[in-house]
Amino acid sequence: QPTDIMEMLEEVSDRFSFQMHQKDIQSVLSVENGIPAVPLDRDQIDQVLDNVVSNALKYTLEGGTITIAARRNNDHTLAISVTDTGMGIPQRDLDRIFERFYRVDKARSRSMGGTGLGLSIAREIVKAHDGHISLESEVDVGTTVTFTLPMREEGGEHLERAD
C-alpha cells in the first residue's frame, strides 16, 4: 500500500528515541522534498529499518550521530540510507557481512550480543521488493547502509491484461 516516507522514517526514529537518548546519540532525519507515496509492505520495510538502525545504535559510541535519509534516484527508485559515526567494519569483512550468522570478530560479537541475522534478513526483504542493499564502512569513522526500492508497482500504470 502507498506509504508516506517521511512518516515512516519519523516513526522509526521515534521507536528508537529512548535508546538514542540513553546513549546520548543524536538522530537526524533528512528526507528529500516531493517524494510521492511508495507502494511497499510496511511491516517488512519496518523490519529492514529496525535491523539497520539497531545495528547503527549498537555499534556507535556515546555522543555519536545516526542519520536516516531518503532521496529519489533518477531511475525511479527510492534510496533510504542509515549513516552512523560508529566503529565501522574492516574492509576484509565487507564482502561477507550480509551472510547469515556472519559477525565481524569473536571479541566484538561476544561483548555485543546478537546472532548475525539482522543484515541477512534485511537483504532478503529488500530483494523480495526488487530492491538492492549495500553497505559502505570505514573503521573508526562509521558505516552507511543504503537500500533502494522501486517507486511504483512493477509495470503498474502500463499493465495490460491479455484476457
- Cell output for 67: 542519520
Which residue is nearest to Mg ion, using beta carbons?
A: 118
Q: Is 81 in the site for Mg ion (CB under 5 A)?
A: no
Which of 38, 49, 52, 55 contacts Mg ion by CB under 5 A?
55
Q: Which residues pair with 79 in a beta bridge?
A: 71, 148
**Residue 96, C-beta contacts closer than 8 angstroms, at least 6 positions apart:** 102
Q: Is 70 in the site for ligand ATP (CB under 6 A)?
A: no
CA gap 59, 141 in Å, rounded: 11
Element (H, E) at 132: strand 132-138
Q: Tell me which residue of 75, 52, 27, 73 sits closest to 123, measured CA to CA.
A: 52
- With contacts defined by CB under 6 A, how many residues of the chain interact with ligand ATP? 23
Closest separation in Å from C-beta 151 to ligand ATP: 26
Q: Is 64 in the site for ligand ATP (CB under 6 A)?
A: no
Which of 5, 40, 49, 55 contacts ligand ATP by CB under 6 A?
55
Closest separation in Å from C-beta 113 to Mg ion: 9
Burial of 25 (0-12, 13-18, 19+ CB in 10 A): buried
Nearer to Mg ion, 8 or 82 (CB): 82
Q: Is 86 in the site for Mg ion (CB under 5 A)?
A: no
Closest separation in Å from C-beta 5 to ligand ATP: 21
Residue 50 interface partner, choices Mg ion, ligand ATP, none, CB cut-off 5-8 Å depending on type: none
CA gap 96, 115 in Å, rounded: 15
CA gap 12, 20 in Å, rounded: 12
Q: Which residues make up the interface to ligand ATP (CB under 6 A)?
A: 51, 55-56, 59, 84, 86-89, 97, 102-104, 108-109, 114-120, 143
Q: Which residues make up the interface to Mg ion (CB under 5 A)?
A: 55, 118
